Amino acid sequence: MSLLINRFYRFGDFTLDTEQRVLLRDGKPLALTPKVFDTLLILIENSGQIVEKEELMRRLWPDTFVEEANLTFNIQQLRKFLSDNARDPRFIGTVTRRGYRFIADVEAVLSDKSPAVGQSAGRLESSDDVSPDAGNTLISQIEAQESGPALNSANENQISTPQEKIGVIPASDEASTSVRKMFIALAAAAVIVLAGAGLVFWRSSNDPDRRLGNRTDGKFSGAIPLKLEKLTGTGQSRRVAISPDGKHIAYTRHIEKQSSIWLRQLATNTNVEIVPPGEVIYGLAFANSGEYLYFVRGAPRTALYRVSLFGGVPTKIVEKPEGDFSVSFDDSQIAFIRQVTHPDGLREHHLIIVNADGTGERVLFVGTYPHVLNVPVWSPDDRAIICSYGNSQGGTQNERIIEVSVADGMKKELSSESFFHVTKLAWLPDRSGLIMSGRKNFEDITELWRVSYPSMETLQITEGLSTYLDLSIAAKGDKAVATQSIRNSDVWVGSSQEPRNLKKITQATDKLCWTPNGRLIYGSDASGNGDLWIMRADGTDQRQLTVGTAADFRPVVTPDNRYIVFVSNRTGALQIWRMNIDGSNQVPLTNGGSNDYPAVSPDGKWVIYNTTDDWHLWRVPIEGGEPMRLTDYPASYPSVSPDGKMIACLERNEPKVGLSILILGSEGGYRLKRIEFTRGGLSGSRMQWTADGKALVYAAELAGGAITINQQSLDSGPPEEIMSFDQDELFDFGYSIDGQLFAVIRGAWKHDVVLISDLNRYGAR
* Residue-wise pLDDT tens digits, 136-161: 332 233 233 333 333 233 333 332 33
In a shared domain, residues 113 and 165: yes
The model carries a pTM of: 0.71
In this prediction, residue 695 carries a pLDDT of 96
Give dist(CA 90, CA 107) in Å, integer. 15
Mean of all residue pLDDT scores within the chain: 82
Residue 641, in any domain of the structure = no
What's the rounded Cα separation, in Å, for the pair 711 and 702?
Answer: 15
Band of the pLDDT at 350, cuts 50, 70, 90?
very high
CA distance 15 to 726: 51
Number of domains in the chain: 2
What is the span of the domain harbouring residue 378?
235-424
In contact, 620 and 609? CB cutoff 8 Å: yes
SS3 call for 153: helix
Say if residues 553 and 533 touch (Cβ distance below 8 Å).
no
pLDDT of residue 150: 32
Q: Is the same domain home to 266 and 173?
A: no
How many degrees, rounded to 5, is the angle at CA 288 between CA 283 and CA 293?
A: 40
**pLDDT category of residue 165 using cuts at 50, 70 and 90:** very low
If asked whether residues 88 and 181 sit together in one domain, one would say yes
> Which one of 373, 394, 424 terminates a domain?
424
CA 237 – CA 253 distance, rounded (Å): 5
Distance of alpha carbon 261 from alpha carbon 427, whole angstroms: 23
Report how far apart, in Å, the C-alpha atoms of 275 and of each of 303, 348, 746 are.
15, 32, 30
CA atoms of 285 and 689, how far apart (whole Å) = 44
**Domain end among 211, 246, 268:** 211
Same domain, 193 and 271: no
What whole-number distance in Å separates Cα of residue 579 and Cα of residue 560? 13
Same domain, 244 and 134: no
Residue 250 within a domain: yes
> From CA 599, how far away is CA 607, in angstroms rounded?
6
pLDDT of residue 5: 53
Residue 375 lies in a domain: yes
Closest by alpha carbon to 715, among 694, 687, 697, 700? 694
Tens-digit pLDDT profile for residues 203-257: 333 443 333 333 434 554 445 667 889 999 999 999 999 999 999 999 999 988 8
Residue 165 sits in a domain whose CATH number is 1.10.10.10
Determine the pLDDT at residue 726: 72
Residue 255 and residue 177 share a domain: no
More confident residue, 369 or 308: 308
Q: Are 302 and 416 within one domain?
A: yes
Which segments within 440-518 are labelled E, that is strand?
447-452, 458-460, 467-473, 480-495, 503-507, 512-514
**Residue 701's beta-bridge partner residues?**
681, 707
- Helices (runs of H) and strands (runs of E) counted in the chain: 6, 56
List CB contacts of 148: < 8 A, sequence separation 6 or more.
none
CATH of the domain at 351: 2.130.10.10
Q: What's the pLDDT band for 761 if we cut at 50, 70, 90?
A: confident
Residue 485 lies in a domain: no
Among 42-56, 611-625, 646-660, the range scoring the smallest mean pLDDT is 646-660
Of 137-141, 260-264, 578-582, 638-642, the poorest mean pLDDT is in 137-141
Residue 748 has pLDDT above 70, yes or no: yes
Do 199 and 264 lie in one domain? The reply is no
Cβ atoms of 502 and 744 closer than 8 Å? yes
Rounded mean pLDDT, 461-468 = 81
- Where is 296: in which H helix or E strand? strand 292-297
Question: Directed axis angle between helix 68-82 and helix 53-60, to 10°?
Answer: 90
Provide mean pLDDT across the span 365-377: 91
> CA 504 to CA 498: how far, in whole Å?
14
Strand 467-473 with 729-735, pairing: unpaired
Residue 313 maps to a domain? yes
Calculate mean pLDDT across residues 516-543: 93
- SS3 category, 629: strand
User: Among residues 525, 547, 524, which one has the least CA distance to residue 535?
Assistant: 524
Least confident residue range of 149-163, 505-519, 563-577: 149-163
Answer yes or no: do 164 and 289 share one domain.
Answer: no
**pLDDT for residue 581:** 97
In angstroms, the CA 355 to CA 496 distance is 55
Integer-rounded Cα radius of gyration of the chain? 30
Q: What is the structure's pLDDT at 560? A: 96
- Calculate mean pLDDT across residues 576-594: 94
DSSP conformation class of 547: -
In the chain, what percentage of residues exceed pLDDT 90?
55
Residues 198 and 292 in one domain: no
Residue 652 within a domain: no
Domain assignment present for residue 606? The answer is no
Q: Point out the domain boundary residue: 368, 396, 424.
A: 424
3-state secondary structure of 752: strand
Q: Are residues 202 and 243 in the same domain?
A: no
Q: Do 123 and 51 have their domain in common?
A: yes
> Is there a domain that residue 400 lies in?
yes
Residues facing 633 on adjacent strands: none
Q: How confident is the model at residue 627 (pLDDT cuts 50, 70, 90)?
A: very high
Give the Å distances, CA to CA, from 400 to 338, 374, 383: 19, 10, 20
Q: How confident is the model at residue 64 (pLDDT cuts 50, 70, 90)?
A: low
Average pLDDT for 595-601: 96
